[in-house]
Amino acid sequence: MTKDRIMAHKQYTDGKGNVREVLALGPQYRLYDGQAEDDNLRYKVLAKRRGPYRLGEERNSTRASFAAWAKCEFKLG
């Protein structure tokens, strides 16, 4: 998925049973102080089959990294 398709208040899946919701976009959602990338986002883990993050946990990511993880927008039904 391309990073320009990642939007706030949408849910995305990696196609392996993991679902994340993008809560907000903005440069303030850096992973660490001094990070040069300013195209960032905050997301929440909604469903999890594998991976290190807990259900309900909120994390920051670059939009490019999130787009590489996301295979498609998640929609119920």
List per-residue pLDDT tens for the chain, 77 residues long: 999 999 999 999 999 999 999 999 999 999 999 999 999 999 999 999 988 889 999 999 999 999 999 999 998 76
Beta bridge partner(s), residue 19:
13, 47
A 10 A CB-CB count for 49 gives: 9
pTM: 0.93
Hey, what's the torsion of the CAs at 64, 18, 75, 8, to 10 degrees?
A: -40
Rounded Cα gap, residues 35 and 50, in angstroms: 27
The residues spanned by each domain of the chain are 3-73
